[in-house]
Amino acid sequence: KHSGAVVAIQRVFRDISPDRRVQVILIGFLFGAFIEGAAGFGTPAALAAPLLISIGFPPLAAAVVALIYNSVPVSFGGVGTPVNGLMSAVGESVTNLGASAEEFRLILARYTAVGHASACLVIVFLAVAIMCKMFGKNKKASEALPALPFALFVSIVFDFFYLGFAFIFGPEFPSLLGSILTMAVVIFAVKKGWFVPKEPWDFDVRENWDDSWKSLQEVKEDRDTGMSALLAWTPYIIVLAILIITRLPNLPVKAWLNANGIVKINAILGVEKASWSWKVFNNPGIFPFIIVCAITFVIHKMPADKIKETIVDTAQQVSGAFIALIFGCAMVYVYRNTADGSAAIEAGKIDSTMLICMARALADLAGKAYVIISPFIGVLGAFMAGSNTVSNILFAPLQFETARLLTISPLIICAIQNIGGAAGNMICVNNVVSACATTGTLGNEGKVIKTNMLPCIIYCIVTILVLGSAVVILKQDPMGLAVAEQVASFIG
């Protein structure tokens, strides 16, 4: 953004199609998914929304659709950060049951992808319909119908790559590579005129826009440095290359990164089971993002003041989620280790940790219908804490234990939690405020949340229908973690 690369990327998208319905899917969904896959933590709202404004979208419309589309790619955002965050919270429970945490992570990615891919078939078109209904000249959702074939085409192509990468490689690549490959296919199709509406659709003239649609604050124009498209995309190309080299299991680099540079703390505050470890070299924030960021400063010839602005803006963007993440992790450690192995348990005064007590209460309240409320717990976590990752760290352990008490699949319930946390990004306070600030529409946060509540609920319903059916059909966890005897031995 501060180097002028965003303006160069704008030029690529601007001339592809004059139809706003096509533009919103290309930029809001596909480009947003690519940015989410690479960076995560609400970044698409800060980049895709201004890009939409620059080509003529009402600022409020740009904020709304960018947030709606920031759902499907979120669980695999930041090269799989939400999944890895979830595993940091439940991995110990998985291994305590004698299962492989790595196998759990890979199968979790597959179930998460299936749920998201199903919702994708609905959400891509739904966002277009909401845009036409709220911001169109005639205020008719039916004006989105000519774009239905295009929306379905994009959804199917995206799902093909998205599911393929999730099933073969795990959580790192579905959003990142799935989106960029889909972009290539879709841009080619649009240039050929395939599936696109015959008559272009546009917003009413700017003079007729409602005042609430417009930027109330001055939105800075990104500077045009005349950068070439290739140079603008170079940092992303480097990120892709490094991630492929370091994440493919057949190459020795991944094993080396996992085995070296590990920071570990055992027996935190004297609690034997409370331990923490961090694989520094395998953390995408360190490698490749900080390294590529430094390279970008050089190849984009950024002056010192722009480098400073970049660092400050980045810190502001992630600060909300970072603070919640720190205290969220601490709270989960308290939940999991309170009274564990203490004299109180040995004396029979209490029989379990806080986490299992809470899980029992949820199990008693919901029973076998728990799968219906499970995604909304993920939504609540994202709404409060500001990200899918923090939602997973906060609530995945609770969801895992509740599922085991009910002898339903903890793995599938964790996938539902992961998807719910992603859907919650549409209405997440942190992301909504960020999107409104970026688009100059501060003061409309309530309107954005109210508008995005419907697609968020629909997203959860699709998840319940798809993965809830898997719970019923399979009857047992794919890894055998929900067997009643295991539950009895664990809590007995």
Q: Is the pLDDT of residue 471 over 90?
A: no
Three-class secondary structure assignment of 30-68: HHHHHHHHHCCCCHHHHHHHHHHHHCCCCHHHHHHHHHH
Q: Write the pLDDT tens digit of every residue in 274-290.
A: 677 777 777 766 667 78
Q: Is the pLDDT of residue 233 over 90?
A: no
Give percent of the chain with pLDDT exceeding 70. Answer: 84
73 and 89 belong to one structural domain: yes
**Which of 33-37, 254-258, 329-333, 472-476 ranks highest by mean pLDDT?**
33-37
101 and 142 belong to one structural domain: yes
Is the dihedral angle over the CA atoms 115, 120, 121, 127 positive or is it negative? positive
Q: Is the pLDDT of residue 72 over 60?
A: yes
On whether residue 328 sits in a domain, the answer given is yes
- Give pLDDT, residue 318: 66
On whether residue 221 sits in a domain, the answer given is no
Alpha carbon distances (Å) from 212 to 209, 439, 440, 451, 481: 8, 12, 10, 14, 51
- Give pLDDT, residue 368: 79
280 and 328 belong to one structural domain: no
Q: Which residue has the higher pLDDT, 203 or 234?
A: 203
Where among 272, 299, 326 does a domain terminate?
Answer: 299
On whether residue 220 sits in a domain, the answer given is no
- Give pLDDT, residue 12: 74
Q: Is the pLDDT of residue 398 over 80?
A: yes
- Give pLDDT, residue 348: 46
Whole domain around residue 286: which residue ranges? 228-299
CA 343 – CA 492 distance, rounded (Å): 17
* Closest to 239 in 3D by CA, of 290, 301, 164, 310: 290
- Give pLDDT, residue 492: 33
Q: Write the pLDDT tens digit of every residue in 101-146.
A: 889 999 999 999 999 999 999 999 999 999 999 999 999 999 999 9
CA 359 – CA 399 distance, rounded (Å): 7
Collect all residues with Cβ–Cβ distance below 8 Å to 318 and sequence separation of at least 6: 41
Q: Is the pLDDT of residue 232 over 70?
A: yes
In 3-state terms, what secondary structure has residue 277? strand
198 and 320 belong to one structural domain: yes
202 and 55 belong to one structural domain: yes
CA 127 – CA 439 distance, rounded (Å): 18
- Give pLDDT, residue 374: 93
- Give pLDDT, residue 78: 81
pLDDT mean over 395-418:
91
On whether residue 219 sits in a domain, the answer given is no
113 and 239 belong to one structural domain: no
77-96 and 410-423 helices, crossing angle to 10°: 150
Q: Write the pLDDT tens digit of every residue in 482-491.
A: 543 343 333 3
Q: Is the pLDDT of residue 477 over 80?
A: no
pLDDT mean over 329-352:
58
Concatenated DSSP letters for 99-110? --HHHHHHHHHH
Least confidently predicted of 140-154, 224-238, 335-349, 411-425 = 335-349
44 and 133 belong to one structural domain: yes
340 and 469 belong to one structural domain: yes
Q: How confident is the model at residue 479 (pLDDT cuts 50, 70, 90)?
A: low
pLDDT mean over 238-245:
80
**Which of 14-18, 99-103, 159-163, 218-222 ranks highest by mean pLDDT?**
159-163
pLDDT mean over 451-460:
96
Q: How confident is the model at residue 420 (pLDDT cuts 50, 70, 90)?
A: very high
On whether residue 103 sits in a domain, the answer given is yes
Q: How confident is the model at residue 223 (pLDDT cuts 50, 70, 90)?
A: low
427 and 317 belong to one structural domain: yes
Where among 281, 299, 317 does a domain terminate?
Answer: 299
The overall average pLDDT reported for the chain is 83
Q: Which residue has the higher pLDDT, 430 or 102?
A: 102
196 and 329 belong to one structural domain: yes
- Give pLDDT, residue 115: 96
Where among 276, 299, 322 does a domain terminate?
Answer: 299
Q: Which residue has the higher pLDDT, 29 or 394?
A: 29
Q: Write the pLDDT tens digit of every residue in 358-383.
A: 778 888 888 878 999 999 999 998 98
Record the pTM.
0.83
- Give pLDDT, residue 484: 37
295 and 346 belong to one structural domain: no
Q: Write the pLDDT tens digit of every residue in 256-268.
A: 777 777 778 777 7
On whether residue 33 sits in a domain, the answer given is yes
On whether residue 53 sits in a domain, the answer given is yes
If one counts the domains in the chain, the total is 2
On whether residue 222 sits in a domain, the answer given is no
pLDDT mean over 456-472:
91
291 and 406 belong to one structural domain: no
pLDDT mean over 320-325:
65
